[in-house]
Structure 1
Amino acid sequence: MNRDELLDNLCSCSSGTFDRVVAYLKPPAGTLSSERNSQATRAAELLIWAEHSDGPSLEKLEKCYRRAIGEQPAKVPIKHSKRSLWEVILTSLLISGLTTGLVLGMRSLGLLESLELEAYDHLLQLRPAEQLDEHILVVEVNQEDINEYGSYPLEDTKLAELISKLEQYQPRVIGVDMHRYTKRGQGREQLIAQFRENSDIITVCKYGSQSKDFYPPSEFSKEQLRNQVGFSNLPLDGAGKQVRTIRRQLLSYAPKLSESPHPCSTPFSFSLQLAYRFLDKEGIQPMTLNDDDEWEFGGVVFKPLTVHFGGYQQLNGQSDQIMINYRSSSLPGRKVTFKQVLEGQVNRDDVKDRIVLIGMNVEKSGDIHDTPYREMLGVWIQAHMVSQIIRAVIDERPLIWVLPQWRGVLWGETFWILAWSSVGGLIVWRFQSRLKLILLICGITTLVLHQICLVILSTSGGWMPLVPSGLGLIFTTVSSSIAYKYLFKHKQ
């Protein structure tokens, strides 16, 4: 700037800025008149001294002035500042909306489903550990038991002997997670008689299977097929992939309980049958269907998954199913072996009034599945599902839920994603051209989002859209930064 412009700026700047200029230059005593004089007078004196041969030069004075104004907010005309501020805010909001629409579009096409399910598994694994469910006992028939007591599959006579031993300890209900369409060795009559004499023994079938091996016992009456059999189907995520994970559980196949022509004609799942028997003996009001065709136990409603639920975008909606809220512990209940029961090595109190599940732990069975935690035997997955139902009713342990929707419109999740996308725009507006700081704050905010989602899932069972929200936040931050740089920076 020329001499006159520099003088004008020194005269019109704030007293604090002028004092900083003086402090930087350190003129000799007596160079400037008393502070009681006007700033214009002292500015002229400072300029004359700078031009003198003993002074620092006008260039030095200008540098000190620029340094002084650099220590305070940029001196921008008020109207220009307001205009830029509103431009940044409106542009950030526009980018937030467009980003939210982009993320929702990607999500509706299923492009984010695998990422969302992996993020869900990740959050489940980070939850605090829970205690064992003392209502659950699992009897494993392992390879050592097969080697010592017979062959695979376990013979009917040995299974009947196991059930007889367990009945002596008075369990509430016994669940046999083994398919028994035809006889296995000797003892068939005894085994069928046990089912006939004790209606609290439940076995399994596989709905929709064309193999007779997965049909219910052929000797069962129509009443037994309905009340003492539960289908053991486990819905798999990741069709066509090498690893298919169990995250959901089926409750029933027909909301109105219409019977299927398939031999596996029970409308109830194995886990629902066991939980119902246990809760009924606890004095919990009977299992009912409410006006919305939702299962209800003791005032607890088990809302079925909708077509769009959390990370899922294409559920068929043809069966009553819920998410499995796995117990965050190594096992959901106590474990004993077939041998321990037969040899009387089991404490009566570990069996009395418990739900006892019997299952195979043999490689030949092929009953090992991937879960959000680890590979798990089918009988243990059933134990998790039974525990989820009874604990939701007895202890109000939360079921997995998502933000509200209305007739397929995911308005709750849309607002959640839009809110976090808008945070990205606010970060850019607040810190503007400081890119490194913007990226740092964006990273910290993403971690905060992660922790909020973890806390909600851990405390209340809420499955928040972590991945879409995180993408919306990051996309908006980056896009708004670019927009600010190219649309506003050069105007100032």
Structure 2
Amino acid sequence: MSKFSDKIRSVRTQLGKLFKPSLAFARIVLIASAVVTVPLIAVRQVGILESAELSAYDLMLRLRPDESPDPRLLIVGITESDIQRLRQWPISDGKIAEILQKLEAMQPRVIGLDILRDVPQGEGRSELTALLQKSDRIIGVCLVTDGSTDNPGSPPPPGISKDSFGFADFSVDRGGILRRALLFMKPPAIDVNPSEKHPCNDSSEVLFSFNLRLALRYLQSEGINPKLDANQSLWLGSTQIKQLADNEGGYKNADVRGYQVLINYRSRRQPANQVRLTDVLEGKIDPNLVKDKIVLIGYTTETVKDLFYTPYSAGKQKNQFMPGIVAHAQVVSQLLSAVLDQRPLFWFWPEWAEILWISGWSIVGGTLAWRIAHPARLALAYLAMLGVCCGISFGIFLSGGWLPAVAPSLALIVTGSSIVSADRFNKSAYGQAISKKVKQVFKIEINEQQKDDEVEEVLNKASIEKLKKVREEFKTSHKEAPATEPYQIPELNVGSPEPSKAQTSPEDLSPELAKTQSLPEDFSPATVGSSDSSKTQSMPEDYLAQLHQKAKEYKHRSPLVRSNHPQTDVPTNTNGSPSSGETQPDEDLERSLQAKAQKIRERREAAKREARKSQDLPETED
């Protein structure tokens, strides 16, 4: 069992050494990724990156190829040329009634009149009112109040039915850019006079938008009717028109009151075929452009401030605005294409998936910085990964998905830059000095290999059991050991004057050496009495020092020509030094003294270790 445990420990140690670089890599990269990703997600949540993400959305929309005009729609635009030729501003009620009659004769499926007619304009008011009440093809518009008494909103044309008008309002982002469409809403509450009360400032009414009314009227002839599910989500047939949430896509805490969707623009120039108002009056248009189509009538001139900035505006120097009637055509085409052509609406990942997306690119950036040391190669790798990140985002955008693009790009760059900067700082002299100072302050001195070995030893059950067994044996042996008298260290006459070199012989040192020989074999500081521990511990050290000093003096004393004892002759060489036959015993004596001194040191250290072990073992058991 012990051999099997040893083999397991050996395999674990080898695996630890094998995967240690990978573990270090994972630890550094994951920590750097977390340090960068968490603040980045927090910054994104408070909306600091919203403008950058919306700009990235606009760029991807401009890079996307335009689609062909929707053949189900026709725009009748009132241009500046039409105003000059008719010499009317605004266009009179009679002229509007004439245009509607000519278009109805061509049998369109529905006509949308994006012109406010709440106040009479010129002649022909009665004709226009009668036509609006009689026709079931015409959809009028109104403007919803903003909740202030100065803006009670504009009512729909008089005499028109409740199902034959819709509000023409849009929800615009900061900077006046049109990215979202309102499909239906409740007007905000407002305190107005009864004479100013109308459906577009009545907070109890649920109003449909102008573009949704046109799409629903067209789809009803196809047998498709709207419905709301239990979650109040709009369904047109089998297609769900999902409501935009306040934190979807690049938006953070957006104002999404009402039922809003992100506009999936069809084209930057012409989402549908377009003709001028005077062409209709003069009969210059092909009836096939009108028959069974949705016809939208509205101003396209800049004289009327019914214009919007769009995501396409940043890429233009001229004609940066999109007329309101064209924007309505974009939304109508989007709804019809989603239901009839399965053209995708915009979809979004859930919040947790976006966090994983950002974290993944942060790890990629850290991995590049860890693996690639060459600056030029690292820069090229970052450019390539940025291209991959943006390419994936754009590819998903083409299929209708909007993923964050700015946040993962920042995570990629910042994580890699932080690892590179930290590595260079640690290798610099200043960084090493700071690291050394920190270690001194906090007394950080860690041997990683020793730490791993100690942790492995502690976690090994067999090692713990072995320690417990040793502890029990130590307790038993300590109880059974007989008490011994403390050994008295022989005193050396340190204070007596040393004999001169000329009068000293090996025999003169014999009493001192005899004392050395009389030192017991089992001497150790642990056997000395504990009444005066400091004195006891210092005595062996003084004793050893004296032994060394005596040995050195004996070795280097002046050579003797003749011993004081008559029976001993010391042979000498020609230079007066003792011959080799007599120096050999001196060297043996010195080695003997050194061996005994070393043995004393070892026994003293062993006693100290035993004392420490007896103190540590109870803590290990706990």
TM-score (norm 2): 0.61
C-alpha distance in 1, partners of 2:336/2:145?
27
C-alpha distance in 2, partners of 1:246/1:129?
18
> CA offset at residue 428 of structure 1?
2.1
C-alpha distance in 1, partners of 2:79/2:222?
32
C-alpha distance in 2, partners of 1:213/1:150?
28
Tell whether 2:381 aligns with 1:445. Answer: no
Aligned residue pairs total 396
Tell whether 2:339 aligns with 1:393. Answer: yes
Deviations 1:334-359 (A, max 9, x none): 00000111111110111111111001
Deviations 1:1-51 (A, max 9, x none): xxxxxxxxxxxxxxxxxxxxxxxxxxxxxxxxxxxxxxxxxxxxxxxxxxx
Tell whether 2:360 aligns with 1:434. Answer: no
> CA offset at residue 79 of structure 1?
7.2
> CA offset at residue 430 of structure 1?
2.7
> CA offset at residue 397 of structure 1?
0.6
Selected match of 2:281 from 334, 342, 358: 342
Contact 1:400–1:461 (CA under 8 A) maintained in structure 2 = yes
Q: In the alignment, what sits opposite 2:217?
A: 277
- Matched residue SS, 1:465: coil
Structure 1 residues 276 and 185: CA distance shift in structure 2, 3 A: same
Structure 1 residues 348 and 218: CA distance shift in structure 2, 3 A: closer
Tell whether 2:234 aligns with 1:287. Answer: no
Q: In the alignment, what sits opposite 1:299?
A: 238
Contact 2:133–2:159 (CA under 8 A) maintained in structure 1 = no
Selected match of 1:91 from 24, 28, 31: 28
- Matched residue SS, 2:303: helix
> CA offset at residue 435 of structure 1?
2.8
Tell me which amino acid in the other structure corresponds to 1:282: E
Tell me which amino acid in the other structure corresponds to 2:164: Q
Structure 1 residues 370 and 383: CA distance shift in structure 2, 3 A: same
Structure 1 residues 435 and 89: CA distance shift in structure 2, 3 A: farther
> CA offset at residue 451 of structure 1?
1.2
C-alpha distance in 1, partners of 2:137/2:151?
26
Q: In the alignment, what sits opposite 1:417?
A: 358
Identity of aligned residues (%): 36
C-alpha distance in 2, partners of 1:366/1:168?
31
Tell whether 2:163 aligns with 1:227. Answer: yes
C-alpha distance in 2, partners of 1:322/1:83?
52
> CA offset at residue 108 of structure 1?
1.3
- Matched residue SS, 1:203: strand
Tell me which amino acid in the other structure corresponds to 2:248: F
Tell whether 2:288 aligns with 1:352. Answer: no
Tell me which amino acid in the other structure corresponds to 2:326: W
Q: In the alignment, what sits opposite 1:326?
A: 265
Tell me which amino acid in the other structure corresponds to 2:330: H
Deviations 1:373-411 (A, max 9, x none): 13200110000011000100001111111102xxxxx11
> CA offset at residue 213 of structure 1?
7.2
C-alpha distance in 2, partners of 1:386/1:452?
29
Contact 1:252–1:269 (CA under 8 A) maintained in structure 2 = yes
Selected match of 2:154 from 214, 220, 227: 214
Tell me which amino acid in the other structure corresponds to 1:417: I
Q: In the alignment, what sits opposite 1:111?
A: 48
Q: In the alignment, what sits opposite 2:136?
A: 199
> CA offset at residue 186 of structure 1?
0.9
C-alpha distance in 2, partners of 1:447/1:124?
17
- Matched residue SS, 1:321: strand
Q: In the alignment, what sits opposite 1:15?
A: none
Tell me which amino acid in the other structure corresponds to 1:454: F
Instruction: Show the 5 A alignment for 1:308-323.
Output: 308-323=247-262
Selected match of 1:478 from 417, 432, 440: 417
C-alpha distance in 2, partners of 1:81/1:479?
27
- Matched residue SS, 1:400: coil
Structure 1 residues 440 and 78: CA distance shift in structure 2, 3 A: farther
Contact 2:227–2:234 (CA under 8 A) maintained in structure 1 = yes
Q: In the alignment, what sits opposite 1:38?
A: none
Return the index of the structure with the highest Cα Rg: 2
Deviations 1:360-379 (A, max 9, x none): 12323101110011320011
Tell me which amino acid in the other structure corresponds to 1:177: D
Selected match of 1:251 from 183, 190, 193: 183
Tell me which amino acid in the other structure corresponds to 2:219: L
Structure 1 residues 417 and 383: CA distance shift in structure 2, 3 A: same
C-alpha distance in 1, partners of 2:97/2:91?
10
- Matched residue SS, 1:365: coil
Deviates more, 1:288-297 or 1:208-217: 208-217
C-alpha distance in 2, partners of 1:363/1:127?
27
Contact 2:393–2:403 (CA under 8 A) maintained in structure 1 = yes
Deviations 1:158-204 (A, max 9, x none): 01101111111111110011111111111111111222111221111
Structure 1 residues 386 and 126: CA distance shift in structure 2, 3 A: same
TM-score (norm 1): 0.76
Greater RCO, 1 or 2 (C-alpha within 8 Å, sep 6+)? 1
C-alpha distance in 2, partners of 1:213/1:486?
63
Q: In the alignment, what sits opposite 1:32?
A: none
- Matched residue SS, 1:481: helix
Structure 1 residues 474 and 81: CA distance shift in structure 2, 3 A: farther
C-alpha distance in 1, partners of 2:200/2:328?
25
Contact 2:155–2:200 (CA under 8 A) maintained in structure 1 = no
C-alpha distance in 1, partners of 2:43/2:231?
31
Structure 1 residues 160 and 260: CA distance shift in structure 2, 3 A: closer
Selected match of 1:168 from 102, 105, 108: 105
Contact 2:143–2:153 (CA under 8 A) maintained in structure 1 = no
> CA offset at residue 437 of structure 1?
1.4
C-alpha distance in 2, partners of 1:227/1:134?
25
Tell whether 2:69 aligns with 1:132. Answer: yes
Deviates more, 1:323-332 or 1:132-141: 323-332
C-alpha distance in 1, partners of 2:72/2:155?
29
C-alpha distance in 2, partners of 1:263/1:486?
66
> CA offset at residue 318 of structure 1?
2.3
C-alpha distance in 1, partners of 2:68/2:200?
42
C-alpha distance in 1, partners of 2:303/2:151?
17
Query: Unmatched 5+ residue regions in structure 1?
Result: 1-76, 405-409
Q: In the alignment, what sits opposite 1:379?
A: 325
Deviations 1:278-297 (A, max 9, x none): 0111222x101111101110
Contact 1:132–1:329 (CA under 8 A) maintained in structure 2 = no
C-alpha distance in 1, partners of 2:103/2:409?
51
Deviations 1:54-95 (A, max 9, x none): xxxxxxxxxxxxxxxxxxxxxxx9977843432222111121
Deviates more, 1:184-193 or 1:381-390: 184-193
Contact 1:332–1:384 (CA under 8 A) maintained in structure 2 = yes
C-alpha distance in 2, partners of 1:82/1:486?
26
Tell whether 2:207 aligns with 1:267. Answer: yes
